[in-house]
Amino acid sequence: MSIALVDVNAGRAAKRAPRVRLSELDVLESEAIHIMREVAAGCTTPALLFSGGKDSAVLLRLAEKAFRPGRFPFPLLHIDTGHNFPEVIEFRDWRAKELGERLIVRSVEDSIASGRAVEKPGQGRNSLQSVTLLDSIAELGLDACIGGARRDEEKARAKERIFSFRDSFGQWDPKNQRPELWDLYNTRVHPGENIRVFPISNWTELDVWQYIARENIALPSIYFAHQREVVRRPGGLLPVSHLVQPRAGEAVETLQLRFRTVGDMTCTCPVESGAATLQEIIDETARTRITERGATRMDDQTSEASMELRKKEGYF
């Protein structure tokens, strides 16, 4: 009697699915979705910070992929300075309505009116957001806030963990952060403490734009080249508006430009650019050697540690 020998390993190899190599964007997307689901699983009352800017628009797409067809397991929260670009606020409201998600808006104007925040002449309101944000966290009982910050934006951001622990005063201590070995995240907090979570922390500005192009994500029009009146001041161009008027001796110029980031109208500078399409923006971003905040945010140029000081006070 003859016995037929079967190569068991050969049979297994034939059934093994072919390996699929993920692109860099696929890896970043997968990591971000995993982080969002960790927040949903480990935190009790999270919120997603949505300003209408490009990074928070990317967060919304990631949340869709993480939780649809269900509702998001958190509301959207915007800390409105009152000095935001109208185009961005219009987009914020439209996008939240399109998604059918709850949008909570808290105003720096209200914090100033109540005496909780003090506005200083000649300074933007970005730093005042910390007061309104901390008050909102206390009011809503939030234990986590998901934000669109990235490590490549600014050196203080580069020190921060993906799950950034804040104490009962809302303060950040860069020397006292929780380890994140093997992508394991500690979401436990005591009453009054909270966590800021940054799912796209490992992304670059170029990654963001390539993802926006791939996913066809809608954005406010001011990210693309357009004509706008500006004045030249130390630190960059400032768009003329009801908040920024030319000083004595300043000339108003009409230039073709776009915004790389959006924030307080009194300290957010556009850059001269003819990039009117996503591919042109991607090409332009690939060539630049200055971070978006370094090139366009006057409030980050007041000192070497301006961002870190704001974060220690509660800034996201």
Residue 286 resides in a domain: yes
* Tokens matching residue 278: 């996503």
Residue 152 domain boundaries: 24-206+307-312
**Pick from 89-98, 175-184, 212-221, 256-265: least confident:** 175-184
Tell whether 195 and 282 lie within a shared domain: no
Strands of the 253-258 sheet, one edge to the other: 236-239, 226-233, 253-258, 271-272
| Residue 298 confidence (pLDDT) | 61
pTM confidence score: 0.87
- Please give the helix or strand (H or E) that residue 57 lies within, else none: helix 54-67
Q: What pLDDT, on a 0 to 100 scale, did the predictor assign at position 93?
A: 97
42-99: pLDDT as tens digits: 999 999 999 999 999 999 999 999 999 999 999 999 999 999 999 999 999 999 999 9
Torsion region of 122: left, alpha or beta (phi above 0 gives left; psi -120 to 50 gives alpha) = left
In the 8-state DSSP scheme, what is residue 257?
Answer: E
* Three-class SS of 66-109: HHCCCCCCCCEEEEECCCCCHHHHHHHHHHHHHHCCCEEEEEHH
Q: Are 285 and 209 contacting, i.e. CB atoms less than 8 angstroms apart?
A: yes
Same domain, 138 and 50: yes
Is 129 inside a domain boundary?
yes
Q: What is the pLDDT of residue 177?
A: 81
**8 A C-beta contact, residue 131 and residue 117:** yes
In one letter, which amino acid is 68? R
201 lies in the same domain as 233: no
Residue 184's pLDDT is what?
83
Structure tokens at 263: 């924030």
229 shares its domain with 132: no
